[in-house]
Amino acid sequence: MRSSPERCATLCKSPGSNQTEVSGTVRPNEQTFLAARLDKRLSPAPGKVWQNSLGMRFVPVANWHISEWETRVQDWMAFCRATNRAFAPPDFPQTENDPVVKVDWEDANAFCQWLTEKERRENLLDENQSYRLPTDQEWSEAAGLPNEEGTTPEERDGKTRDQFPWGKTWPPPRGTGNYGVIEGSSSDGFAITAPVGSFAANSLGIYDLGGNVWEWCSDLYKPGSRWGVLRGGSWGTKSRGELLTSYRNVVDRGERDVIYGFRCVLVAEAESP
C-alpha cells in the first residue's frame, strides 16, 4: 500500500521581518523545500528610533516611544485635510515646523486616534500598536523625573523643587529653551513659538520638554475632576515655580489657547494604561 502525500505548513520569521506562513506537499520518504519571502518589518522595534509616515521621529523610553518634538503645524494640517476638520490658526505667524497650538485635550486625542488608524491601514503599525497622549508619569520619565512620589498628578505636583528642564540653575542659561522674558536671562530669540528642535535635546534625544508650548497629558489632575494636566511651560512662561519640571498646569480639558499643544507617545497594547 502506498502512503498518500501530506500537506504541511510552517511559520517563518527572521529578526526585523514580518512573520509569514508557507505550505506545501510532502511525499513519503522525500524532502520538500518551501520558499518564503520575508518582508522587512516597517513598524517600530523596541529600543530603536523610528520615523512615521508624517516624518515624526520617536525615541525609545523604557518599552515605549515618545515623539522627539511637539506635534507640528504640518502634522496637524495633514490631519485636518484627511478629516475635513477646520484649521484655526493663532493670531500670529507660524512655520510648518512650529508646534500646533489652540488644541484642547479632545483635539489631541482625535489626532492620535486618526494617526493610529491611518498607519495600521498602511501596515506601518501592528494591530497592538497605537498613538496616544503620554500619561503624567510617562511625561515625567521622559523629562528626567522617573521616581516622583504620589499616585496622582495632584500628589506629585511641584514636589521636586530643584529641577528644571535645563538642570538645577536659575535663571535658564542662554539657548536652553523658548520661554517668556525672564529677568537676568538672555533672550532666546523667539517672541512666540519656535520651530521644533530649535534648542538642544535632553539626554534621551527629546526636544522642548521645557518651553515652546504646554503639552497635554492623558490624566485627570485628580480622580473625579474635569481638570486636565499640561506640562513643560511655554513661550510665555517666565515664573520659576511654573518652570519646575515637576509643575503641573491644571486647566479644563476643553480649553484651547495659543500656549497649549501636545506630543504623542507610541505604545504597544501591553504598555497602555
CA distance 183 to 188: 12
Give the per-residue pLDDT at 269: 82
Q: Does residue 1 have a pLDDT over 80?
A: no
Band (pLDDT 50/70/90 cuts) for residue 184 is confident
- The helix/strand/coil state of 110 is helix
Once rounded to an integer, what is the mean pLDDT over residues 89-107? Answer: 98
Secondary structure letter of residue 260 according to DSSP = E
Per residue in 48-85, pLDDT (tens digit) is 999 999 999 999 999 999 999 999 999 999 999 999 99
Domain formed by 50-271, architecture: Alpha-Beta Complex (3.90)
C-alpha cell at 46: 523596541
Q: Does residue 190 have a pLDDT over 60?
A: yes
Q: What's the whole-number average pLDDT of the chain?
A: 90
209 and 197 Cβ atoms separated by less than 8 Å: no
Give the per-residue pLDDT at 11: 55
Band (pLDDT 50/70/90 cuts) for residue 43 is confident
CA distance 134 to 59: 13
CA distance 113 to 214: 21
Q: Does residue 137 have a pLDDT over 70?
A: yes
- Residue intervals in the chain for CATH 3.90.1580.10: 50-271
Q: Does residue 91 have a pLDDT over 70?
A: yes
34 and 23 Cβ atoms separated by less than 8 Å: yes
C-alpha cell at 14: 527572521
Band (pLDDT 50/70/90 cuts) for residue 151 is very high
CA atoms within 13 A on the CB side of 219: 24
Q: Among all chains, which residue has been given the C-alpha cell 486625542?
A: 109
Instruction: Provide the CA 218 distance to its chain's centre, in angstroms.
Output: 12
101 and 259 Cβ atoms separated by less than 8 Å: yes
Q: Does residue 9 have a pLDDT over 60?
A: no
Per-residue CA distances from 138 to 63, 67, 87, 144, 185 (Å): 11, 12, 29, 10, 30
For residue 249, what are the β-bridge partners?
Answer: 230
What is the residue type of 62?
A: A
| Percent residues over pLDDT 70 in the chain | 84
